[in-house]
Chains A and B, each alone.
Chain A
Amino acid sequence: MHQGETLLTVRDLRVEFPARGGVTALRGVSLALQGGRTLGIAGESGSGKTTAGLAAMGLLPPGTRVTGSIRLGERELVGLPEKEYRRVRGRQVAMIFQETSTALNPVLKVGDQLRMATRAHFPGSKDDVRARIVAALESVRLTDHTRVLRSYPHELSGGMCQRIVIAMALSCGSRVLLADEPTTALDVSVQEEILALLRTVVAERQLALMLISHDLAFLADLCDDLVVMYKGQIVEAGSAQSVISSPAHPYTRALLECIPSLHSRRGTLPELREYEAPSAQGCGYRHRCPWRADPCLEAPALAAVAASAERSARCWRSAEVLRQSVTESESVV
């Protein structure tokens, strides 16, 4: 498999919100985004997956304490002054969100919005800017440029709006794209289109895509690598294929059981009580974990899972969990 260059590296990222009573959203997250590859981040609400994206964009609310390292090529983004960060956003890293039709300004023509964003990074002649925008629209398979550029967002469908936002990121020059639930607000059929589009754009332009979702099935479809987050920590990481087929962390197993299937009863994840400070000691998941045992009173580290060096999990019993998963998947076959 072709290994693209590493575009964005996150190391031991910690995010705290002192204004919200010292809530810690991320507790030491490390990951890497590579050109031409898609990294999926899975986890329930409050697991810190969106915070990770916003942190990379430098868009966390003022007063947030961010430590650790986010490197974009040679450049350190943590602590970068807002003025310089402004030039990084859009130009090198862009983020798209769940909202589709409201993600574009309702009172401005699509063309004006694309032009405004593109000119912020490429202050060229009118024709140059237009050429960039048209190329970006081609990339997202919007071929009817003239009409699209002259439209207002409310005249376009949600799927088209999401394509335009992606095109905006491309025409600004971003090679790292962070997508936070980019298809949740769309019809199922349109979801498929956008997914297919993301897949081709990543391949064509050698983008590094970070796909954030709560939906493992959705991530399984598109991602090369997968990271599962729980309470601000990565609990399992590995290639998407292997994590999904044989999870090594009880939480990943629970998430997979939540995926509705035609043949078996769907499992339900125990309710998470409202924000509960992760206890200093012990595994954060142990209160909901069917595998809990004595060692769980001490926090496990993210460690390589026995089977392969490429996979890691934050669980004392990951080897047992993996074995169970493998047996189950074999018995199904």
Chain B
Amino acid sequence: MSERTYTDSEMMIAVAARVLKGARTVFVGVGLPNIACNLARYTVAPDLELIYESGVYGARPERLPLSIGDPTLVSGAISVVSMADLFGLYLQRGLVEIALLGGAQIDRYGNLNTTVIGDYRTPKTRLPGSGGACEISINAQRTFMIMRLKRRAFVDKLDFLTSPGHLTGGDSRAQLGLPGGGPELVITDKAILDFANPQHEMQLSALHPGVTVKDVQAEVGWSLRLGETIQETAAPTTEELRLIREELDPHAMYR
């Protein structure tokens, strides 16, 4: 642990990039996910096109976007469309293979809260709300979450269900007719979690170097299920770190 040459954020970026291997389209937010998608383009997914809810297909940002509506996403993109077309023709049409999402709270079935902490009408904290996340979580073919592992975020019960994951588990998502496959992975700063069991319940899949099962359980608000085999995540490679530090985030905004 003490000789670690990378940060938690760099680990999350490297893992998120690797799991995009071979993907053609990804629906992306700002910050870590944006860096991960660009890292994937340089490494495991050369044909990857970035889709932004602001209406951009095939962005090639020349700088790190400040927001999902940054003008750098427009210049050099393949297509810029209205938001009605982006949500209708790209997302709802089923053209988004992978969506990267996060939230203030997640539960064991990968449902997300980005709306309120506390009661909806008299909130303790008013969060931003859905944005496009509700329809993205419903329509994307596959959903990966990127979130830091914290007990206040990995909760037994959400204060508000903004974006449906596997709902109450089992086939409850399919029963409601939601087109997308739902959450597959949760990439955190300590471990990788997946939903690869019939109940679609979050389970521990891989531990980052130096992290124990106990460390992970301490940050999860329910008794975490363990996968059949628990891998150790490979640390970021020299080349991954070079690309992140020199090419993608030279000003260390997200490290």
Decide if A and B are genuine partners: no
Q: Which residues from chain B sit less than 8 Å from chain A, CB to CB?
A: none
| Partner-B contacts on A (CB < 8 A) | none
